[in-house]
Amino acid sequence: MNTELFRCAPPHADAREPWSAGEFEARLRACETGYHIHHPFNQRLNRGELQPFQVRAWVANRFYYQVKIPEKDAAVMANCDDRAERRRWVERILDHDGRGDFGGSNAGGIEAWSRLGEATGLRREALWSHRHVRAGVRFAVDAYVNFARNRPWEEAAISSLTEMFAPKIHADRLAGWPTLYPWIEAEGLGYFRSRIPLATRDVEHGLEVAHRWCTTRARQERAIAILQFKLDLLWSMLDVIENAYPDDLPMESRP
């Protein structure tokens, strides 16, 4: 196995001066090689090679990740004593849980993902019951929430920086799925479209926090290790889903 694919640029052994802001950010961005866009299951998904039940399984398992993101972000806020930062971070919760009358575009990302589920043929009850969520996916997602609960809010902010690489993965879905998976109602892809500008905004904030927090080489190297933890978490979720939903899964076990 090419382990280089799965490792960010290894932290420099010498803990002398911190890297420049530019070099630090370049090293964070170099972690893209471990992003789940490169996972074989995601590559098959975005090449249109998966069967409907496998797409439904991915949507149902990723739904658990989506519904836990606001809990993770609330944990970040609970550890943050800076009102100005909380005023920015709270937007992430509302982006997922919804705003105002919760109608239309105010419904929030969790509702939009529910609609993706319905567009693939999953009933809302099957989605919200989480009965298709595999143990390894639940474990990985819960590890993310617990990381945010137990670490300084700045470290949890850094762990969200995998979204540096998310606009491309959303764009791939929007570009390919309508022709690759014509059986998925187009309205269901709205989540991916809505997430791109929000991810860009959140990454801008997350990078500000990372640059302000990582004033030493040790913290910069810690930031890379945190990003690798989150990359591994996303990667392992696809490992679990790929293993649980093989092409020849018996009909009665298919979502």
Measured from the CB of residue 43, what is the shortest distance to ligand AHQ in angstroms? Answer: 13
The Cβ of residue 8 has, within 10 Å, a number of other Cβ atoms equal to 20
The distance of closest approach from Cβ of residue 95 to ligand AHQ in the complex, given in angstroms and rounded to an integer, is 7
Residue 19 DSSP class: P
Q: Rounded to the nearest whole angstrom, what is the least distance from the CB of residue 11 to ligand AHQ in the complex? A: 21
Least separation, in Å, of the C-beta of 15 and ligand AHQ?
Answer: 28
Radius of gyration of the chain (CA): 18
Closer to ligand AHQ by CB, 15 or 175: give it: 175
Q: Cβ of residue 21: shortest distance to ligand AHQ, in angstroms?
A: 22
Backbone angles phi, psi at 182, to 5 degrees: -60, -15
Q: By the 8 A CB rule, do 194 and 162 touch?
A: no
Instruction: Confirm if 224 and 28 have CB atoms less than 8 A apart.
Output: yes
Residues that bind ligand AHQ (CB under 6 A): 69, 109, 160, 162-163, 166, 169, 195
The residue (of 122 and 169) whose beta carbon lies closer to ligand AHQ is: 169
Give the side-chain half-sphere CA count within 13 A for 192. Answer: 21
Q: Which is nearer to ligand AHQ, 131 or 193 (CB)?
A: 193
| Cβ nearer to ligand AHQ, comparing 7 with 217 | 7
Contact 242, 149 (CB under 8 A): no
Tokens at residue 46, please?
């975005």
Identify which of residues 162 and 228 has a Cβ nearer to ligand AHQ in the complex: 162
Q: 80: which DSSP letter?
A: -
Helices (H) and strands (E) in the chain, counts: 11, 0
- Tokens 């979502």, located at residue: 255
Residues 6+ away with beta carbon under 8 Å from 198: 95, 109
Q: Shortest gap between Cβ of 252 and ligand AHQ (angstroms)?
A: 29
Question: Of the two residues 114 and 162, which places its CB atom closer to ligand AHQ in the complex?
Answer: 162
